[in-house]
Structure 1
Amino acid sequence: MMPILLLILFLLPAVFALPASPINEDSYDLDASTHAVTNTSEGIWQPPLGIGWEIVLLAPPTTYDDKIPVYDIDVWDNPKETVDSRHAKKQKVVCYFSAGTWESWRPDAGQFPDAVLGNKLGRWSRGQNVERWLDIRADVVRAAMSARIAKAHEQGCDAVDPDNVDIHDNNNGLSLSADDSLNYVQWLIAESHSRGMAFGLKNAPDLLPSVMANVQFAVNEECVQKGDCLLYKKFVAAGKPVLHIEYPKGDDINNDPVPDEQMAAACAFMRSHRFSTLIKNMDLDEWVQHCQTGLTPVHPGQ
């Protein structure tokens, strides 16, 4: 018996030293977790880790893929009928709006006085369309954002995707700090939850530890490009999804697939950490390339 016992003791360290099984790439497909969405005890939707999704913001989508569980669309450009039609297909709808910037083309643009407007966002301010950072401390800004969240609720949105909450990390011209952004995000979360909608933290990974328990998912742009995807490690360990977008083509807007090498880099955290990764054009039109091996780029509406 002693030789057998010694053999077992010898083998145990090797057994526990074996690496964990890698995530099966095929287990993450457009049907993965389709409609396998859960709800919290408060009735707020909690999307599962690794859920498939699509985001189209440039204009209302011309077509929808009924196999995709979640669509992220603009709250201004898509009426309640669109949300209802997605619900009829058992899909969830995330409604996008900018929570940290003034956009000159929005219907409520006149509600923001000059005193709350900061620097322009150079990339997105073109021609008559101007975008400027907002003083998120101002009551008038919060009143307008509360109305936007109410609009999302009235349209039946399951969650909100408030953009530009990382205002402290940009040249805003308003002397806004990380504490200002955190206070604002916490307020946005409360506003969303009070209306029964889930909340996705857009970018701002430095704020994530302070709000992780209260947000249902994260939306990240270009963490592979920026090298900060590992900041979401604890978030996915908690079972919460990262809806992740990479823009390997940069400012080039076209329907060409990205090379295999770029695709592999963009999709690395989908494989290692179950990110919900999409490859998109920077303007977030309908062109999309999914990470699954062998899946060709999708060109809806063409």
Structure 2
Amino acid sequence: MRNGLEARLTRGVRRALPACLVLALLGAAVACRPEPAPSGAPMSWPAASARHWRWQWQLTGVLDLTVEADVFVLDPVVTTAAQTTELRSRGRRLICQVHVGSVHPDDPDIGRYPARVRGTTSSRTGRTWLDVRRWETLRPVLADRFRLCRGKGFGAVVLADADGYDQDSGFPLTFDDQLEFSRRVAALARSLDLSPGLLNALAQVAALAPDFDFAVNEECVRLGRCAKLLPFADAGKPVFHVEYAGVTTDFCVTSVGYGFASIRKNRTLDAWQDPCPPPP
């Protein structure tokens, strides 16, 4: 009897009422969170949810599909379409991480980067910095990386290594060179139906926040630099923040106070995480 009543209520109000109100009428004790964007559409980030996202960042190890998170940041090369399909079926929102300012010997498309755009190789990461001034050379490679993300069901992309001007890149890159490149990459992502996000690059956040939909940050509490991310938080855009040291009771008060979605992770970015309690 109850199942029949629920079905009639759902059919009668689905078109007229928001999904959360339908659930309330049915007595469901669940939180109201935005539904993920359909495959083929860029991810949306409702400002009202900016402080409440639960997130996971995993780039190594066997992907744990069961982590209780709304948002997953993943490697688009090693993550399979079957895995993204499963995550999307659970209502997860998917961000692919793409290195736009560097290339690694293990990257499957490394042969598409000619020697003239390759600079210094970092001894720490093994990644080689790219000459971001050569947009016509880099654009088609990045476009195909973004198409890979889109094809696997990701709705957003976060740009890694978008700070070559501030590194020993081997090129005389300027602050303005980097700004122009990052804006071009953000526009390219949007043209391919991906919501663009910025990883770190704190010195340029004030200038770039209007061009990006969200930010991902490492260790702003430990480094005392969280205030630099306020252009995102103040605009109602999510800031996904991670710390690698300390305990959540030490840094969550600061990061959640800024309006960030914060977790603690291992530096290897495996499946383990310890999230901060959500704000009230």
How does the TM-score come out when normalised to structure 2? 0.80
- AA in 2 matched with 1:134: L
Which of these residues, 60, 63, 68, is aligned with residue 61 of structure 1?
A: 63
Q: Is the 8 A contact 1:34 1:69 kept in 2?
A: no
Report the Cα distance in structure 2 between the residues aligned to 1:115 and 1:33, rounded to whole angstroms: 52
Among 30, 34, 42, which residue is 1:36 paired with?
A: 34
Q: Does 1:91 align with 2:92?
A: yes
User: Quick one: which amino acid aligns to residue 231 of structure 2?
Assistant: K
Q: Secondary structure at the match of 2:128?
A: strand
1:226 corresponds in structure 2 to 223
CA change 1:173–1:46 in 2 (3 A) is: same
Determine which of 261, 284, 288 is the counterpart of 2:273: 288
1:87-112 deviation per Cα after TM superposition (whole angstroms, max 9, x unaligned): 11111110112111111001101111
Q: Can you give the 5+ residue segments of structure 2 that lack an aligned partner in the other structure?
A: 1-29
How many corresponding residue pairs?
242
Query: Secondary structure of the equivalent of 1:284?
Result: coil
Deviation at 1:38, TM superposition (A): 7.9
1:263 is aligned to 2:248: yes
Query: Quick check: 2:36–2:91 contact (8 Å CA) kept in 1?
Result: no
For the 8 Å contact 2:206–2:228, the answer to whether it is kept is no
Partners of 1:34 and 1:54 lie apart in 2 by 20
CA distance in 2, matches of 1:64, 1:178: 41
Contact 1:246 / 1:278 at 8 angstroms: preserved in 2?
yes
- Please give the residue correspondences for 1:172-191 in structure 2 after superposition, counting only pairs within 5 Å: 172-191=169-188
Match of 1:217 in 2: 214
Show the counterpart of 1:132.
Answer: 128
Contact 2:233 2:239 in 1 (8 A): yes
| 1: CA distance, partners of 2:31 / 2:253 | 20
Change (3 A) 1:210 1:243: same
Distance change >3 Å, CA 100–CA 46, structure 1 → 2: same
Identify the residue that residue 26 of structure 2 maps to in structure 1: none
Alpha-carbon RMSD across the aligned residues, in angstroms, is 2.2
Deviations 1:193-213 (A, max 9, x none): 112211111111222222322
Aligned CA distance change for structure 1 residues 264 and 186 (closer, same or farther; 3 Å): same
How much has 1:60 moved relative to structure 2? 4.5
| Alpha-carbon contact 1:44-1:197 (below 8 Å) kept | yes
The offset of 1:43, in angstroms, is 5.6
Q: Distance in 1 between matches of 2:143 and 2:95?
A: 17
Provide the rounded CA distance (Å) in 2 between the counterparts of 1:206 and 1:73.
25
1:238 aligns to 2:238 (yes or no): no
Give SS of 1:179's match.
helix
- Conserved? CA contact 1:60–1:77, under 8 Å: no
Matched, 1:144 2:146: no
The percent identity for this pair of structures is 26
Partner of 1:52: 54
Deviation at 1:117, TM superposition (A): 1.2
Q: Tell me the amino acid that sits aligned with residue 45 of structure 1.
A: S
Q: 1:218 to 1:121 in 2, by over 3 A?
A: same
Aligned to 2:202: 205
- The answer (yes or no) to whether the contact 1:119–1:173 under 8 Å persists in 2 is yes
Contact 1:59–1:77 under 8 Å retained in 2: no
In structure 2, relative to structure 1, the CA distance for the partners of 1:110 and 1:33 (3 Å cut) is farther
- Which of these two proteins has the greater Rg computed from alpha carbons? 1
Report the counterpart of residue 9 of structure 2 in structure 1.
Answer: none
Q: Which residue of 2 aligns with 1:118?
A: 119
Q: Does the 8 A contact of 1:52 with 1:68 survive in 2? A: yes
d(CA) in 2 for partners of 1:172, 1:265: 35
1:64 alignment partner AA: T
- Distance (Å, rounded) in 2 between the aligned partners of 1:180 and 1:34: 42
Aligned with 2:231: secondary structure?
helix
